[in-house]
Each structure stands twice: as structure tokens, then as C-alpha cells.
Amino acid sequence: MSELRRLRYFLAVAEERNFTRAAERLHIAQPALSRQVRELERELGVELLVRTTHKVEPTEAGRMLLERGPALLEAADSLWRGVRAFADGRMGSVSLGYGMSAGYETAPQLLLAMGEEAPGIEVSARVMAFADIIDSVAAGTLDVGLVRSAQPEALPDDVELTLLRRERQGIVISSEHPLAADDAESIDPAALDGLKLLLHPRTHNPGHYDEIMEICARAGARPEVLYRGLDFDASYTPVASGAAVTMVGYSGRIGLPSGLLWLPVTPAAFIEVHLVTRRENRSPAVGRLLRVADETSRQHNWLTGALEESVAGVRNRRALGLDGVDIGAIDGAYEV
Amino acid sequence: MSELRRLRYFLAVAEERNFTRAAERLHIAQPALSRQVRELERELGVELLVRTTHKVEPTEAGRMLLERGPALLEAADSLWRGVRAFADGRMGSVSLGYGMSAGYETAPQLLLAMGEEAPGIEVSARVMAFADIIDSVAAGTLDVGLVRSAQPEALPDDVELTLLRRERQGIVISSEHPLAADDAESIDPAALDGLKLLLHPRTHNPGHYDEIMEICARAGARPEVLYRGLDFDASYTPVASGAAVTMVGYSGRIGLPSGLLWLPVTPAAFIEVHLVTRRENRSPAVGRLLRVADETSRQHNWLTGALEESVAGVRNRRALGLDGVDIGAIDGAYEV
DNA sequence: GCCCGGTCATGCCGGTACGGCATGAAGGGA
DNA sequence: TCCCTTCATGCCGTACCGGCATGACCGGGC
């Protein structure tokens, strides 16, 4: 039932075969060491060292302790090291929830960065509806959420927002559409007036709905809203036919069906993407993810949006800027 | 660098998922436990348990500790148990030295008993001259000696004697010798007067030499002493030829060349066999051997000598009482 | 809605263990 | 023989640890 300190002390003496030198190594005074070793012997009920004034020799029992002791200390250290790996966020697991819109670029980039920066953290990611993300984070069943147009005032007190990205908005439109004339590189939202605009129902994410409408309203446009489901690809049909357009962020340009264009809104309009966490559930792994997210954001200029300021319309895959990003390789990194 | 107590405390709480019950199990008060676990978390720099007033749940780091911790405690306990095995003499090693005379029965029986009673103790036994045994024990290079006719007053102060056996003396004599008439079952030492008596040189073990001569002198006999070497078998030649006789203990009856008899001296004469140890070198293993020797001595009535009092002459192997003792099986137990 | 029971945390206090300093005892070497 | 090295012992202050009393919080029952 003895503790490890005594064992460490004994091992130092047994290895040095000298109390004085061992005491120096242990940074304690020699008498203290002498007493601790003696106390260990008393506890175990056996003489461990044969001391003469000029020699210290281990007994049989001492030799056994000398052989097996270091392994025990190493096992203990290994355990402490393992726990500390959780402490500083090298180890752990995080659940991440995000909407379809973040699934094209923002989430994959974050997961990629986590895989590189914190390979010991297992990130289980899944696509969720906006309200589910907020509720799950608030309930503690989800560690981190990734949402568009979060409104701080509409959130529970104990959830916290971290701005991850300011994403330029653009119009997804058929290349056959009159607004997508050959040399058109952007669209003035004023041009949306009277057009059919495909959006998620307002109840899905009221803040986001309102922000989109505000962008139109600022330009004096009053589009006719059509509602679509959460599945982007399937609901692009009305857009492909030229019957409607929709507004998505810069990252939405990825994965567009052929025949569809993404043209930035001008003057530039931005929508914010936030990480949502619970104030209490600040596990080291979550903290680590937040740091990695911050770094990723800076690396891609997600906050300054400088790159996106000057972005032009996207008319083909090469122009999408996807050459440097292998989306396929990222797919396996998260669950859908 | 933490010690094991905190780990034990944490494990109790993590297993019980309840501080109060864990405190009872550990026989400490709940506040003390609460503080110790908190202190462990502070040391490791990570939250191990999520506490609410009605639930205690381990975090990821806590689960790791909960999984790997018990193995560490077990490893520590195993180490302490191993050392304690040395402490109480279940484990260890002892060197044993004895003269040829003890090699026929006394030492083998002792080694046999050690193998049964203390299988964890490795006994390295070897045959040595009397003076070497005493010197080696005194010098600390031999743990235990086994000698005949030790004289306490002639020994160094720091060696100690333990009486192991009182062994009836007898005469080894050719079956053709006049003193070994068909029905002779013993020999009066008076009959040795004038006979050639084969003995080790007095310098080899003065006490023993003197005791043998005293046995003769008490009966008024003055034999003519011939000196022989330490090797019993080879030096029996003059006895086999009938030219001489010799005197050995009861155990010397074993291994007699054919044609030789062992006839007890009557009135019975005894010589003492002692264990020799050094007062300081009382390792647990030596202590254990002494206890086993004591038990063996009692089991075989080596001290009372009741059996040997009534022993008759030995004329064949069956009569030697060897049926219950497989000398061959003992041989491997000690080095010669 | 309020009270009650159960649970964990905190404040305070006393004892013990631990480490430091000074000193003693023992033994080998010049 | 003296001295130096080394380990042991005595004494003391501090820090840790555990106990007791009490507070804070929360869920459940009336």
C-alpha cells in the first residue's frame, strides 16, 4: 500500500549505491532520504539495503525492487502522460454538427485541419438542421455546431458564438438565364426584384432568412420566395430550369450541377458563419478545436474576406479554385 | 509525479459514481475525498469527473484513468507482494555448507523439507571441510553451516549454534570381523581397545576427534588411531579388509559398501550436530531455513534420539530403514 | 410552490509525515 | 593515529491530509 515516492527514493539509492549522491539527485537532504528508505523497509518488513559506512549494497529483496521498480514508475508516468494528453487537447473526441451549406467547404477544411493539427482528437461530424444544432449544443449532446446567421439574442444564455467566417453571398443561376449574360461576373440584388428566389422556410433559420431578404430589400428588390428542402442538389431543379434563382455563400459554388453558375452579389454582401459551443462544456478537446478553427480561419482569410471581395463569377470547375482542394479525400473524415 | 493514493481515491469515486459511497468504501470522510480528487485534477490539469449534485460522470480523461488505473495499482501491489515474499522468507536464497558426514542423511532431509516447505527459496548446498564452514559463516560468505561436535567456546563471537540433531554413534566394521559375530547387534566401545580406529586428523575438527576418543576412554579403551582423508568411500578400504574399524553416526549407516556393517555403540553414545549461522546475517530466508530445520528435527526425533536409542545393527539395505527415503531423488537438490 | 432529502463543496482545525539543519557514530585511508 | 567520508539520529518547522461542521445545489414528493 506504499506510495511511489519511497520507491523512487529507494531506487535512487540502490542505483547510486550511495545515500549522499542519491539525495543530491533527488534534491533532498541526505538524512531525509536515509529516513524515507528506512521507513520503506519498515513498511515492507524487510531489509532492502545493507549499509556500512563506506558501502551500500542491496539485499535480495532490494535487488528485486531494483529490477521491477523502474517498470512500475514508468507505467505510472505513462498513465499520467496519457491523461495529460487529454488535458492539453492532444487526445479526446469532439462531436461537430453543421448544416448542408457548411458541408461544401467550411466543415471539410476544418476537419482537414483537425486531422493535421490534432490527430489524437476524434471528430465525429454530422449534418444537422439549424435548430437541432442549437438545441443539441444547449443540451450538451453536441460539442460544437457550425451555423450561418446565428443571432446571439435568440440563443440560450449558456451557448457561446465564435465568429469563424464572413462569407460573400452570391446567386446560383442557370447559365441560360438572361441575368447570366456571357460576360456577367456579378449580379446586383436589385435585379432579383420580382424573380423567384429559392429559400429554406423561414422557420428553419429565421435569422438567415431575414438576412437574405434584407440584402434584397437594401437594393429595393422584392423577390418571390419559393421554399425548398434541405437537400441542395435535389432542390436545384427549379434553378436549373431557369424558373428560379437562389442565394448561397461563396463556398456554395462547390458542387454545383453543370449548367449552373455562382455569381457574386454586388455590392458585396456577407453572411457570418459561427461556431456554437456551450460555455460549460469546454473540454480540452473542444478548446483545441476552437484554436484549430481560429487558425484555419486566418489561413483562409475567412474573416477579412479580402479574397472573396474580389471574387468573380464561377463558370467552370477550374475557376472554382478547387485545384488545391481534394474534396474526395476529405469525405472520409466525417460522417454524414 | 503524483502518488497512488489519489489514484485509488479517484478510482473509487469513478467506480461508485458517488463521492459519499466511495468515501465509505475508503474509510475516509466525504469532504476529504472530494478535496483529494479535486487536487488530483489540479495536478493533472484536467477535469476527470463531471459532478452535479445528483450525478458523477467521468470525462474522457477520467475514463482513460478508470480503464488503465487499476492495472497500475495491481502492478504496484504485485511488486509489494513480491518484496514481502522475501520479507517472510517465502522467497530468497540460502547457501548451506556441510561435511561429508551430514551428506548421507541430515542435509538431504533438510533440503527435502526446504523443497516442500519453502519452494521459493533456492538453497545452494555444498560439502565443505569443518574449518571452512566456520570461517565462511564468520566471514559472511556462507549463510548456514551444518557441523558435528561444534564447540561454542572455540567459535567467533558473532556465529551462533542451533542444535539440530543428537546422533547415536556406531562402529563401521567388516562383517567378517570377530566383533561382528552373526548375532551381534551392538558393540561395547571397550572392545575397541587396541584396535585400529580410522579417524580424520584431529586438526580437521578437534572437538569431534576428542569426543570420539572420549567415548573410547570412558569405556577404558585406547584404540590405535589411523588417519584418513575426507572421502568416506575411498577410505573405507582398511575397514573392508578387516584391518581397522571406524566410528560414525547413525546416519553413516547409509551408503555403506557391501560387506560392511554399522553396529551401534552400547551403552549409547551421542554426538551433536549443529546449524551454524552468523548473528547479523539473519536474512528472512535464513530464518525460514532455521524454522524448517527445527521442524524437520522434531519430525525425525533428531533431538530426543528415542528411535536411535533402540536401534540395532544394520546388516542389509532393508534394515537400514531406507525404504521411505529416496536418496537418489534428493541428490539433485544440492551441489557437491 | 415549497419543503425535504441527498449530494458535493468549503471553512476550519488538529495530527502526522516529511524535509532541513546540526550533530553523532563508524570505518577506511594517509 | 588522525582525518575524511558516509550514514544515522535528534530536533524543529511546515505542509499535507483527514475529520467535523456547515453551506450550496438540485431533484422529487406533497
Q: Residue closest to C6, CA→C1'?
A: B54
Closest-approach nucleotide to residue B31, Cα vs C1': C9
Residue numbers 90-119 of B with CB closer than 7 A to any atom of strand C: none
Please list every residue in chain A whose beta carbon sits closer than 8 Å to the beta carbon of residue B44. Answer: 80, 83-84, 87
Contact (Cβ atoms closer than 8 angstroms) between residue B142 and residue B133:
yes
Average pLDDT, chain A: 84
Tell me which residue has cell 449558456.
A158
A50 touches chain B (CB under 8 A): no
Q: Do B68 and A47 touch (CB under 8 A)?
A: no
The span from the CA of A99 to the CA of A79, in Å, is 39
Mean pLDDT along residues A102-127: 94
Contact (Cβ atoms closer than 8 angstroms) between residue B251 and residue B167:
yes
Distance from CA of B80 to the nearest CA of A (A): 7
Chain A residue with the nearest C-alpha to that of B60:
A92
Tell me which residue has cell 539433485.
B332
Question: Worst-scoring range by mean pLDDT, A81-85, A180-184, B13-17, B20-24?
Answer: A180-184
The span from the CA of A224 to the CA of A197, in Å, is 6
Name the CA dihedral angle for B71, B74, B75, B80, rounded to a multiple of 10 degrees. 170
Contact (Cβ atoms closer than 8 angstroms) between residue A99 and residue A249:
no
Cβ-proximal residues to B315 (8 Å cutoff; 6+ apart), any chain: B175, B261
Query: What's the CA–C1' distance between A330 and C25, in Å?
Result: 75
Which regions in chain B score pLDDT beneath 70? 1-2, 182-183, 229-235, 281, 305-336
Between chain A and chain B, the number of residue pairs with CB atoms below 8 A apart is 96
Q: Which of A4, A46, A48 sits opposite B4 (nearest CB)?
A: A4
The span from the CA of A209 to the CA of B285, in Å, is 86
Residue B134: how many CB atoms within 10 A of its CB?
22
pLDDT value at A102 more than 70: yes
Regarding beta strands B245-249 and B159-174, do their DSSP bridges make them parallel or antiparallel, or are they unpaired?
antiparallel
The span from the CA of B155 to the CA of B180, in Å, is 39
pLDDT at position A96 is 96
Q: Do A84 and B59 touch (CB under 8 A)?
A: no
A284 touches chain B (CB under 8 A): yes
Chain B residue with the nearest C-alpha to that of A74:
B72
- Per-residue pLDDT of A283-335, as tens digits, reads 889 999 999 999 999 999 898 765 565 565 555 433 444 433 433 333 322 22
Domains, chain B, in order of start with CATH, read 4-87 (1.10.10.10), 93-331 (3.40.190.290)
Distance from CA of A92 to the nearest CA of B (A): 7
- Per-residue pLDDT of B183-222, as tens digits, reads 678 889 998 998 999 888 899 999 999 999 999 999 999 9
Chain B residue with the nearest C-alpha to that of A90:
B61
